[in-house]
Structure formats: structure tokens, C-alpha cells
Amino acid sequence: MSVKRPNLAVNIAGIQLRNPVMPASGTFGYGEEYAAFFDLKRLGAIITKGLSLNAKAGNPMPRIAETTSGMLNAIGLQNVGIDAFVAKKAPYYRGLDTPVIANFFGNTLDEYGEVARRLADVPEVTGLELNISCPNVKQGGIVFGTDPRAAAEVVSLVRKQNDKPLIVKLSPNVTDITVIARAVEEAGADAISCINTLTGMAIDIRTRKPKIANRTGGLSGPAIRPVAVRMVHQVVQAVKVPVIGIGGIMTASDALEFLIAGARAVQVGTANFVDPTAMLSIIDGIESFLVEEGLEDVNQVIGSLTT
Amino acid sequence: MKNYETIILNNLEISPGYWRMRILAPGFAAAAAPGQFVMLRPEQALPTMLRRPFGIFRTGCLPPECAGLPPREYMEILYKIVGQGTKIMSELHAGDRVELLGPLGRGFAINDTDCAKLLVGGGIGLVPLFLLAEELIRRGHRVRLLMGGRTRDDILAVTEFERLGVETYVSTDDGSLGEEGFVTRVLERKLAKYPCAEVYACGPMPMLAAVEAICGECNVPLQVSLESHMACGVGACLGCVVKGTGHSDQRPNYLCTCKEGPVFSADQLDWGRVVNPGGGCLEGGCR
Ligand SMILES: Cc1cc2nc3c(=O)[nH]c(=O)nc-3n(C[C@H](O)[C@H](O)[C@H](O)COP(=O)(O)OP(=O)(O)OC[C@H]3O[C@@H](n4cnc5c(N)ncnc54)[C@H](O)[C@@H]3O)c2cc1C
Ligand SMILES: Cc1cc2nc3c(=O)[nH]c(=O)nc-3n(C[C@H](O)[C@H](O)[C@H](O)COP(=O)(O)O)c2cc1C
Ligand code: FES
């Protein structure tokens, strides 16, 4: 009897992924930083650091603090800016044979639209991931992703500027994530990824100062995983578009929780810092799980939750 | 740069609160340049614990135990217990597994000039200076190490430098070993003596700021090795930045410690308004 390797490939909004595992934006640089550790061809996709219209210098230091089973970060979305990305970073992806998803954001509605427009004709970019966890500086700093109307407005504008597959990344810092999920689906999102970091804070009791200069930061890592699994579960129930699960994934079993909850793929963030080859172990572990369970296709696991 | 899943060869307390860990690392020595660092994580730590950055102290090779065994290459770190991670490390033994990422970052730039080479170390900041001293001596330079600490317990591994042929000058804040006072006092005296000098420093930030003030005043080229909180160690997370020259809120200039450093030329950095805590006026003037 020949042993057939199970199928790991999944499809997200027309993007064919060889397996359902990809890095989370901001934890993998532009990809090249990790090329020394493994062949980037092993990944389902590459997701870039968040890009904006102009280069962004980011927040003062300290920017990161370790917390119990996780970390806080307030990097401040430091990035090279869209034009430098297209000119200097994108050529690196040529011939890589792994889909590249450009994560991006704006400080105003117009900026979102302009970045989307400039990414439209970049052949190295397969799809977009729209980060709506940013404050709208023109409207008192209200975060686009916490208001269903503002979120829908950004998505439909981006949709008009760029017809590459569009993944919208949701903020968990909301009362009901399904409201936002439905709003962005209606506005034209092809897929949804969730969750971004949860706003948190940590204090140094000796100096009485916040542990990061920005005072608050985004909490990531295993500490947020149960919250993320719950939100992915809720979003999967609420929308028809595919969902990508993110939050505290360190191992294959963590990733499988998201897939069983209904996520079609997963992103791995903080775990890359603990172990730069974490994603490879996760991919191999998912395959072993399928073999153990006698399954031929990862799609048989997706949404297999029984309640 | 490589991700090693390897073992500890030994782990010993060398002075109260300071430990030395020898780690099996084939191929490491040839790749490591003076001033580079590693990201380290004990396998038995919580699976969620981030890696910690440590300077590379020494590299070496154990002779084959018995005929036929290949020589075993190792690297060593010196570390001070300051929190949970370093506490866990101090409880490890030979044979325990660690994950080691390295060598990482940009180390010291070595100039083959005839200027006096002065190495200034404060406490655990001595670590990156050993490979540097080794390399400078290999290239035929005379090397002087000015080593400072709060007490005699903070003065580490000086005899190892002496065995290399380094002239060493020890000072402690409380006078319990060597000269009493700050290491910067010794530096001022030395700078006054040599017509031309280059300084390489690593230590606590107030010490580095004082060294910078002195070298700045005397127009002496200075390289410093900095510390910063790190998550990835490879330039991916941008968590480890420091302020570069001319930094302002309007025109920010952040440098990435793990990738563009940890060693910087002093003129790449924004030293703010930190004044020379050692006094501001040089004992003996600049030569
Ligand atoms: C390039 C570089 C080289 C270093 N070389 C050495 C060395 O050779 N020997 C040595 O003893 N120490 C060195 N350090 C400092 C060492 O990394 C910290 O002392 C260590 O991370 C503390 O960990 P902890 O869990 O014991 O402390 P905790 O305070 O419990 O750590 C909490 C978090 O803060 C971070 N952190 C705390 N202090 C520092 C610090 N000073 N620098 C960076 N991160 C910190 C930890 O990594 C951890 O994520 C170096 C740091 C850098 C950046
Ligand atoms: C250092 C750091 C930087 C991040 N930068 C971005 C970013 O630029 N854009 C974005 O959409 N999310 C960013 N994130 C959020 C992650 O992509 C991810 O949603 C979050 O960390 C949760 O996943 P994790 O628990 O696996 O890390 C960042 C997270 C971290 C830790
Ligand atoms: S530690 Fe991640 S960029 Fe330097």
C-alpha cells in the first residue's frame, strides 16, 4: 500500500496556497530577513510588514516588553513606505514561487486609497491585506476598524482602486467583531483575517513608568489565543468569505484549533521570535495530524468543529 | 548566521551573580566577528519565552575525547542574573538543551592604524571586548583594557585578557580592586598620554555617555556596543531601535540595534543632553 501524502493546499479568494501557514504582518519583516533560516518556498504565502503611503519612522523606545505568555509592542508601524517597497523590496519576490500579500494601512481614507492604487500594478504582489486597526487622523483618531461605517468606507474605496484579492484584517478591540466582519464583507472584502493585537499595558513597579514608551501597546502571543479562537469562531459563523485565523499560534495543535473553528488558513506572528523555524514545524505538524487522523485533505479539518 | 539546537557543555558561576556558559556550536567560531551577539533560549524554559540577547565572549575548540572523535567547537557567553530568564539559565547543567541563533548583528570595525587601542569595559560590558582584543593582537596591535566595576565582584575574566597579552587597568567604584573611582578617570589619563588613540567601549549607558563625552572632547574615534530590548534579533520586528544622529520628533532617525548594531560608531548616535557625569573637565587635558 503506497502512503499518499495528504493535501495541504487551500484557496483563499483565488490565491492558491501550498499550505495554510503564513507569517503575520510585522513579525517577518519583508521575508528576506528569514531567508537565511529556511526556504521561503515552504510557506503558504508571505505577508509583508505594514506599508503606508510615506515612510514611517515609528514610535520612541522602548517599543517592546515581554509579558506572561506574550509580548506588548508599539512599533508604530515603522516601514519604508510604498514607493520604496515597490522599488527596493518587491523585486526580491520575483521567482520566489510563493504568493506575496502586501499588508498596508493609512492615516486617512485618502491614504488608504492611494496605497491601494500604487499596489495595483505591482506584479510581485499577489494579494492585499488591509489593516484597519489604525486611527483616522482626520476624524479625531477614531480607529477605522472599530466603526462599521468607517471600516466599510475604507474597504469599498480600496476595492475601487485595486482588484487584487483583498483580505481585511480586523481589530479585536471592539464590542462585537461580527458587526465589523459583516460590514467589510458587504463592502467587498474577499476574505477576513483576525485578530490583530489586543490593546494592553504593563508597568515597571520600580520606576512607576509604563514598560513601553507609547504607554499602551498591542498584546500578542499565546496569551491572546483563546480570545482569537473565539473571535474566529464568531466571524466564521457571521460571514461567507474565507477567514484567516491569527493569534498566539506556536504549534501545529494551536493552528489546528483555528482550522477546526473554521479558519481556512492561519498566520503565525510572535512565535517566529521564539523560534525562527516555528512555521515549518507547524506545517509538518499539520501534515502529521492529517496522517494520524487518516485524512487526505486539510480541507476536511477546516470547520470540522462539533458542538 | 544559523539556528543551533544544541547543548550546554558547562555552566559555572564565576563571580557572585555572574555566570559563564559554554555551548556546543560547530562552525560558530569561523562565522563570528568581534562584537556580534546571539539570541539564546533554554529549551526547558516556558515554551513562550522569547530569546535573550547575549554578547559572544569567546569561541574555542575541545580536543577530541578519544581517537576518532571530531574536535568539538564551542562558544561561550558571560551573563549576569538580572531577571527571570537569566535566573533560569543559571539553573541549567551540562547536557541541557538550548536554542542559539547567531552570530548576529554588526560588530566592531577594526582599523589597522598605529593609534593606541583602548578597550573600555564596565561590568558585564566586558563581554564583546575579548574577541576584539584577540583579533587586534592577532593583527599585531598592542591592546589596553580599562576595566571598571562597582566592586571587585564586577571585575570579570581580567586574567584571560592578560594571558592574551593585553595590558589591563582595573578600577572599582569602592576601591575593592584596582584603582578607586570610575573607569572614565583612567580613560582620561590614558588619552592624555597617547598622541593618537581609538576607543572601543561597552558597559552601562551612563558609563558610555561619559566615555562619549570624553572622546568627543578629545576628538578620539569611539565605537560603542549597545543593549536594547529585542524580540527577533534579525531586523524583522523593529522593536530594538535607538536614536541616531540628528533625531527629532519631526525628523526621526531610528537605528536598528540588532541589525545596524549592536556596535555603532559614536557619531552615528544621538547622545541627547547627557553630560559627562565624571565632571566634564578632563584631568590632564587632551594630550
Ligand atoms: C546585543 C546585546 C548583548 C548583550 N550581551 C549581554 C551579555 O553578554 N551578558 C549579559 O549578562 N547580558 C547581556 N545583554 C543583556 C541581556 O540580554 C539581558 O540582561 C537579559 O535579556 C535579561 O533577561 P532576564 O529574563 O533575566 O531579565 P528580565 O528583566 O526578566 O527580562 C524581561 C525582558 O526584558 C528584556 N531585557 C531585560 N534587560 C535587558 C537588557 N539589558 N538588554 C536587552 N533586553 C533586556 C529581556 O530580554 C526580556 O525580554 C545583552 C543585550 C544586548 C541587546
Ligand atoms: C512586533 C509586531 C509588529 C506588528 N506589526 C503589524 C503590522 O505592521 N501590521 C499588522 O496588520 N499587524 C501587525 N502586527 C500584528 C500581527 O500581525 C498579529 O496580528 C498579532 O501579533 C497576533 O498574532 P501572534 O499572537 O501570532 O503574534 C504586529 C505584531 C507584532 C508582535
Ligand atoms: S530585535 Fe527585532 S528588529 Fe531588532
CA of A197 to the centre of ligand 2 (A): 6
Q: Do B39 and B70 form a contact (C-beta atoms < 8 A)?
A: no
Using only C-alpha atoms, chain A has a radius of gyration, in whole angstroms, of: 18
pLDDT bracket for residue B186 (50, 70, 90) = very high
Which of residues B36 and B195 earns the better pLDDT score? B36
Looking at the DSSP assignment, which residues form a beta bridge with residue B12?
A: B20
**Which ligand neighbours the alpha carbon of B122 most closely?**
1
Q: Do A235 and A265 form a contact (C-beta atoms < 8 A)?
A: no
- How do the residues of chain A divide into helix, strand and coil, expressed in percent and rounded to 5? 35, 20, 45
Confidence at residue B1, expressed as pLDDT on a 0 to 100 scale: 86
CA distance B193 to B186: 11
Tell me if B3 and A276 make a contact (CB, 8 A cut-off): yes
Rounded to whole angstroms, the maximal C-alpha distance in chain A is 66
**Which ligand neighbours the alpha carbon of B257 most closely?**
3
Q: Which of B230, B241, B247 is the best mutation test for A, with the most CBs of A within 10 A?
A: B241
In chain B the domains, ranked by start, together with CATH numbers, are 2-104 (2.40.30.10)
Chain B, 19-48: which have a CB under 8 Å from a chain A CB? 41, 46-48
In order, the DSSP letters of A225-249 are HHHHHHHHHHHHHH-SS-EEEESS-
If one counts every other C-beta atom within 10 angstroms of the C-beta of residue B287, the result is 13
ipTM (interface pTM): 0.91
Element (H, E) at B131: helix B129-138
CA of A219 to the centre of ligand 1 (A): 20
In order, the DSSP letters of B189-213 are HHHHH-SSEEEEEES-HHHHHHHHH
CA distance B209 to B262: 16
For residue B236, the distance in angstroms to the closest alpha carbon of chain A comes to: 4
Burial of B159 (0-12, 13-18, 19+ CB in 10 A): exposed
Size of interface A-B (CB pairs under 8 A): 89
Share of chain B above pLDDT 90, in %: 79
Confidence at residue A136, expressed as pLDDT on a 0 to 100 scale: 74
Residue B231 CB less than 6 A away from ligand 3: yes
- Residue B284, pLDDT > 50, answer no
Q: Per-residue pLDDT tens for A74-116? A: 998 888 899 999 999 999 999 899 999 999 999 999 999 999 9
| Residue A307, all three cell numbers | 458542538
CA distance A110 to A241: 26
Catalytic residues of A: 134
- Residue A3, pLDDT > 80, answer no
Residues in chain B with CB shorter than 8 Å from the CB of A29 are 234-237
- Residue B46, pLDDT > 90, answer no
Q: Do A212 and A74 form a contact (C-beta atoms < 8 A)?
A: yes
- Residue B87, pLDDT > 80, answer yes
Contacts with B13 (C-beta within 8 Å, 6 or more apart), sequence order: B19, B90
Q: Per-residue pLDDT tens for B213-257? A: 999 988 999 999 999 999 999 999 999 999 999 888 777 789 999
Tell me if A75 and B239 make a contact (CB, 8 A cut-off): yes
- Residue A13, pLDDT > 70, answer yes
Weakest-pLDDT range from A216-230, B29-43, B193-207, B269-283: B269-283
Q: Give, as one character, the DSSP assignment of residue B269.
A: B
Q: Which of B1, B5, B48 is the best mutation test for A, with the most CBs of A within 10 A?
A: B48
Domain A10-300 classification at class level: alpha beta
Looking at chain A, which runs of residues are DSSP E strands? 10-12, 15-17, 21-23, 46-47, 64-67, 70-73, 100-104, 127-131, 135-136, 142-143, 166-169, 191-194, 198-201, 203-204, 209-210, 216-220, 243-246, 265-268
Shortest CA distance to B43 belongs to which of B102, B93, B105, B1?
A: B93
Q: Give, as one character, the DSSP assignment of residue A7.
A: B
Q: What is the length of chain B?
A: 287
Element (H, E) at A258: helix A252-261
pLDDT bracket for residue B68 (50, 70, 90) = low
Tell me if B99 and A222 make a contact (CB, 8 A cut-off): no
* Chain A positions touching chain B (beta carbons under 8 Å): 26-29, 33-34, 36-37, 49, 57-58, 61-66, 69-71, 73, 75, 78, 221-223, 250, 270, 272-277
Shortest CA distance to A281 belongs to which of B99, B287, B38?
A: B99
Which among A33, A49, A270 has the least Cβ separation from residue B234? A33
What ligand 3 atom has the least distance to the C-alpha of B229? Answer: 1
Touching check for B238 and chain A: CB below 8 Å? yes
Residues in chain A with CB shorter than 8 Å from the CB of B226 are none
Element (H, E) at A4: none
Identity of the residue numbered B61: C
Shortest CA distance to B231 belongs to which of A171, A254, A25, A28?
A: A28
CA distance A60 to A295: 49
State the average pLDDT over residues B29-39.
96
Residue A248 CB less than 6 A away from ligand 2: yes
pLDDT bracket for residue B190 (50, 70, 90) = very high
Q: What are the C-alpha distances in Å from A214 to residues A63, A298, B136? A: 7, 41, 42
What ligand 2 atom has the least distance to the C-alpha of A249? Answer: 26
Identity of the residue numbered B124: I
pTM higher than 0.90 for the full model? yes
Residue B239 CB less than 6 A away from ligand 3: yes
| Residue B5, all three cell numbers | 539546537
Which among B231, B241, B254 has the least Cβ separation from residue A273? B231
For residue B159, the distance in angstroms to the closest alpha carbon of chain A comes to: 36
Q: Do B101 and B36 form a contact (C-beta atoms < 8 A)?
A: no
| Residue A188, all three cell numbers | 467587498
Confidence at residue B92, expressed as pLDDT on a 0 to 100 scale: 96
What ligand 2 atom has the least distance to the C-alpha of A49? Answer: 8
State the average pLDDT over residues A286-300.
97
Residue B232 CB less than 6 A away from ligand 3: yes
Which among A33, A57, A270 has the least Cβ separation from residue B254? A57
Confidence at residue B245, expressed as pLDDT on a 0 to 100 scale: 92
- Residue A68, pLDDT > 50, answer yes
In order, the DSSP letters of A133-168 are -SEEGGGTTEEGGGSHHHHHHHHHHHHHH--S-EEE
CA of B230 to the centre of ligand 3 (A): 5
Q: Do B203 and B122 form a contact (C-beta atoms < 8 A)?
A: yes
**Which ligand neighbours the alpha carbon of B107 most closely?**
1
CA distance A277 to B5: 11
For chain B, the average pLDDT equals 90
Q: Per-residue pLDDT tens for B115-133? A: 999 999 999 999 999 999 9
- Residue B99, pLDDT > 50, answer yes
Using only C-alpha atoms, chain B has a radius of gyration, in whole angstroms, of: 19
Which among B3, B229, B241 has the least Cβ separation from residue A37? B3
Confidence at residue B239, expressed as pLDDT on a 0 to 100 scale: 94
Mutate to test the pocket of ligand 2, among A103, A128, A220 (most ligand atoms within 8 A of CB): A220
Q: Do B80 and B55 form a contact (C-beta atoms < 8 A)?
A: no
Burial of B46 (0-12, 13-18, 19+ CB in 10 A): middle
Residue B255 CB less than 6 A away from ligand 3: no
State the average pLDDT over residues A205-229.
96
CA of A223 to the centre of ligand 3 (A): 21
Confidence at residue B63, expressed as pLDDT on a 0 to 100 scale: 77
Tell me if A33 and B254 make a contact (CB, 8 A cut-off): no
If one counts every other C-beta atom within 10 angstroms of the C-beta of residue B215, the result is 25
Touching check for B88 and chain A: CB below 8 Å? no
Contacts with A11 (C-beta within 8 Å, 6 or more apart), sequence order: A17, A264
Q: What are the C-alpha distances in Å from A14 to residues A76, A166, A214, B202, B238? A: 31, 10, 39, 53, 32
CA distance B220 to B190: 12
